[in-house]
Amino acid sequence: MDNKKIIIIGIILFVIVFAVIFVMFTSVKYERVEITPNGTSIEVPANQTKYDGEVESTKIWHWDKGILVTYNSYADNNIIKISEMGFDTLVNVIKNGEQQNIDGFTCYIINADELLEISIFDIIKVNYNGKFYCIPLYNETTHDNLLICSNDKDVAVHMAKSVQYKNVYPDNTDLNDALSTVENLTGDLQSKAENYTINTNLSEVKSAVEEKIGVNLDDAQNTIEQYTGKLPI
């Protein structure tokens, strides 16, 4: 074999070895975590994802290039689902971003500074820059709500694809009946309030509503504001 062929083979081998090493050091490794105990799980970047805890029944994880937020309405024992309203408002804020379809997932693109302005992320002491790719997910069977946001759209899509849903909260007919009762009662209170607010002090109306539903409206507003900042009511 002449020297020319040896040199060519050597170059090819060098390129192959370099490519393998590059992929090994740049590819993201994942580990699976449960977002509900013994239930739904998702793959997150390994050895760098930190669980930050719960904010009003909403769980938060973060890593150097992203954030994961989850909420399960059946794990929330509050009859008035304040956390669910807050999570929905959070997702609506994300949906103000540019919308793209990536591998079958609806993705919203927002700037990092816009994301970190959302009050719920105050517990995460990090500085993010650039664009974030956010994918909201919901499963009607397991009642899981997820919001995946990452600087790297490939990571966001991989995580979305990796979700394995598992229902660990059986339907609670008593809870459903209670929710239905609350909804009917709230509608009735609203109708009555509209009829006599002209001749009644509004603070008295507010007190009557709070007494009927068992929820302090100011506390409910403060809870929702933890997610999105101050919102007008």
Same domain? For 141 and 77 the reply is: yes
Q: For residue 183, tell me if it sits in a domain.
A: yes
The residue among 162, 186, 213 that closes a domain is 162
Q: Which of 40-49, 73-82, 152-161 has the lowest mean pLDDT?
A: 73-82
Q: For residue 70, tell me if it sits in a domain.
A: yes
The pLDDT value recorded for residue 81 is 47
Same domain? For 36 and 121 the reply is: yes
CATH number at residue 120: 3.40.1000
Domain enclosing residue 97, as ranges? 30-162
* Mean pLDDT, residues 45-67: 88
pLDDT tens digits, residue range 207-216?
Answer: 665 665 566 6
Same domain? For 95 and 39 the reply is: yes
Q: For residue 42, tell me if it sits in a domain.
A: yes
pLDDT tens digits, residue range 162-191?
Answer: 999 999 876 654 455 544 554 555 555 556
Residues 6+ apart with CB under 8 A from 101: 107
Same domain? For 34 and 134 the reply is: yes
Same domain? For 89 and 190 the reply is: no
Q: For residue 131, tell me if it sits in a domain.
A: yes
Same domain? For 56 and 97 the reply is: yes
Same domain? For 53 and 157 the reply is: yes
Number of structural domains in the chain = 2
* Mean pLDDT, residues 132-140: 93
The residue among 139, 162, 185 that closes a domain is 162
pLDDT tens digits, residue range 141-166?
Answer: 999 999 999 999 999 999 999 999 99
First to last CA, the chain: 82
Q: For residue 68, tell me if it sits in a domain.
A: yes
CA-CA-CA-CA torsion sign (5, 10, 16, 18)? negative
Same domain? For 34 and 53 the reply is: yes
